[in-house]
Amino acid sequence: MVSKSAKVTAVEAMDRDRRVEIRARLRKLGAKYGFKDVVAKEGPIDWERVFEEASQASRRLAPQIGAFHDRFERARPALVRIEFETDEPIEFAAGQYLSIRFGDRTRAYSVASSPNRDHTELCIRRVPDGRLSPRLCEELSVGDELAVRGPHGNLLLEGPSKRDMVFLATGTGVAPMKSMIDYTFEEGRDTFRGEERDVWLFLGAAWEDDLPYHDAFRALSAEHDNFHYISCLSREPWLSEWGGETEYIQDAMVKYVDERALQDAAFGGHMAEMLADRPETDTSARIDPHVAEVYACGINAMVYGLETAARRLGIPKDSIHCEGYG
């Protein structure tokens, strides 16, 4: 396996500066709970005092204030899209990853672009104290050189079939999913013997602008009636009028399962609650677990939870394809 030299052709921040929004929300909370004067209209925020005043007003505010603090103070950009080109095309299958070297540091990143594209694209999340991601987010510029090695990985699409496709990811775990989804529609694999296959994507993050390719997936959903994009945000409702799903993506998936396909099964506890819960979107399509194949990539806790839920729902073991990290 030979390393290739690649030239960077695009670097784009995908998240945005939301400090003004957070400050305004803190002042609104302060007006409600009696600590508005603690948060000035501009300048540094005395977070220690905000925590103290908010905790005295209501202990329930602690998680919210903590989330605002972390988002306000985090380094930016925290999410970037990188494109590069090589003299000779990199041959890879949708879902695989590459080893990327910049300077003296190397890390593995999944390819976000389809194998059909002329360029190769990566999606990078800044990891505090990470080996390479802070440098890619802060220093990388158009024209820089990268060393690329690969491809690697076995998270691959099954062959064409009548089975519906369900993709689940958290954060930049969506990179291989995007490659697979784009390739699926480009190659007409969303149909089988003249019949459409439903293609689902459940994508989770804390904040709306932490959803990689959010606009691209919404556009794809508008273009294809059989593509169903369900975004799940855990912290966004604290900051905006978010009206979508807020659960873990494996829980959100369960809400979209066709209960008629589970008539002979008995579920209790949390699974039963999710099956009984109504979806937050107007998507009328539903997932039949007996004719579905699942692909998941993200943090290990999500992947483990997804595998457990998928098997309980009756999705065949050999139709569950997962890759975890962290």
CATH of the domain at 122: 2.40.30.10
The residue-averaged pLDDT of 124-144 equals: 97
Q: Which of 126, 152, 178 is the last residue of a domain?
A: 152
Q: Is residue 157 a part of any domain in this protein?
A: no
Same domain, 312 and 183: yes
Using the predicted structure, report yes or no on whether residue 265 has a pLDDT greater than 70: no
What's the whole-number mean pLDDT along residues 224-248?
97
The reported pLDDT for the residue numbered 2 is 63
Domain of 140, in residue numbers: 4-15+77-152
174, 220: one domain: yes
pTM across the whole model: 0.95
Q: For residues 122 and 1, which has the higher predicted lDDT (pLDDT)?
A: 122
Query: Are 209 and 312 part of one and the same domain?
Result: yes
159 domain residue, yes or no: no
pLDDT at 33 over 90: yes
Same domain, 206 and 106: no
Q: Residue 64 above 70 pLDDT?
A: yes
Q: What is the pLDDT of residues 176-207, one digit of tens each?
A: 999 999 999 999 999 999 999 999 999 999 99
Out of 56, 73, 90, pick the residue that ends a domain.
Answer: 73
DSSP secondary structure of 187-219: TTTTEETTEE--EEEEEEESSGGGSTTHHHHHH
Model pLDDT, residue 1: 58
**Count of domains in the chain?**
3
- Identify the pLDDT of residue 293: 98
Is 82 within the bounds of a domain?
yes
Contact 118, 186 (CB under 8 A): no
Average pLDDT over residues 63-88: 97
Write down the pLDDT at residue 263: 72
Average pLDDT over residues 138-167: 97
Does residue 236 sit in helix, strand or coil? helix
Looking at residue 264, what is its pLDDT? 63
Residues near 47 by beta carbon (within 8 Å), at least 6 away in sequence: 65, 69, 73
Could you tell me if residue 186 is inside a domain?
A: yes
pLDDT for 273 equals 86
Does one domain contain both 68 and 182?
no
Looking at the fold, whether 46 and 112 belong to one and the same domain comes out as: no
Integer angstrom CA distances of residue 76 from 80, 107, 123, 212, 316: 10, 20, 15, 15, 42
